[in-house]
Amino acid sequence: MTLIKKSEGIYIDESILPTILSSDGIIFDCDGVLVDISESYDYTIQKTVQHVLKIFASIDGIKIDSKIIDGFKATGGFNDEVDLTYAAIISLVAAEKLGKDQSEFIFDVIGNADSTGILSVESFLDKMTDISEIKTKLDYPGSHSTNFLYKIFDQLFYGPELYRNLFGVISEFTESGLIENDKVLVTLLLLSKLGQKFHKKMGIVTGRGMESIRYSLKELLDEFDVEHSVFLEDEPREMAKPNPKSLVRTVNGMNCKNIIYVGDSMEDFIMTKKISELGHNVVFCGIIGTSKNPQEKLELFEKNDAVIILDSIDLLPKILNLE
């Protein structure tokens, strides 16, 4: 599908306009949509990979840059940044064991990964070499409070004070949490404009926990229907995107008939597609401006038949005739 570029930063299939104009609710992902995480979560992935590789494998790993992160996320199976971190670690350990170039090998892994996430990576690597030792050491996944990998990631991301408040445990790191690098993109002005149409039917379905989002959004979180939003870090693992159950819960809770879901990842797109197949009227709106390579993200969404793609959430009022 080739979308029409209506104006700068807006790509749309014009046949969807009547549907979105009649929408009665809007639901947002957080990371990459409400908040730019390129200097927070993305950097935490990199630091955690290097820390764990040195402890458990005595390996100096390559930089886990935006191309690697976007590559894993494009498969639709890595909404959880710690899953991505784990996949990168075991991939680099396998590359070392096989005597392969780390950079070339990790993209081979990405090319063989799919929406089953770490299961697809483990399956691919298990066919090539024995990675049982690093898998045993990491014992991933587990709970945020007890699993080693989760603890390292969370301590680096949240920082000592917030980590202690969330988990009741003292962090082994003393530097400020990388959550401080979150760049909040949503504004009270934007939410006020959207509120003219949706009133309080504005929800969130995100991989983050509620306290993590509240720390970054502060009082802006109160502009959303928090009661019916879903914060997947606080939910059982099987609820993770692209499982549509979280989105179904929010749609039903807000009692909406025609929803726009605003996300920036393939997990978001797949989740929206699944809920549509269940009979709910949900339109996916893809955000590409927070990507390090917006053109690649645009092409990815276009290839998968997304009908609305925006550079920024700031353009939502324009396509909804609120300006």
* DSSP strands (E only) in the chain: 4-7, 10-12, 25-28, 35-36, 183-184, 202-206, 230-231, 258-263, 281-287, 308-310
> How far apart are the C-alpha atoms of 92 and 60, rounded to whole Å?
9
* 65 in Cβ contact with 105 (< 8 Å): no
State how far the alpha carbon of 80 is from the alpha carbons of 46, 103, 172, 265, in Å. 14, 22, 23, 11
DSSP code at position 8: T
Q: Would you state the structure tokens that stand for residue 194, as one six-digit string?
A: 């959207």
What domains, with CATH codes, occur in the chain? 4-37+182-319 (3.40.50.1000), 41-180 (no CATH)
Total residue count of the chain as it appears in this document:
323
> How far apart are the C-alpha atoms of 252 and 86, rounded to whole Å?
34
Q: Report H helices in 199-309.
A: 210-217, 245-253, 266-277, 294-303
- Looking at residue 6, its pLDDT comes to 67
Q: With a cut of 70, which residues of the chain have pLDDT below it? A: 1-2, 4-6
Q: How far is CA 174 from the centre of its chain?
A: 27
- Range 295-302 contact pairs with CB under 8 angstroms and sequence separation of 24 or more: 296/70, 297/70, 297/264, 298/11, 300/74, 300/266, 301/269, 302/1, 302/2, 302/3, 302/11
- Looking at residue 2, its pLDDT comes to 60
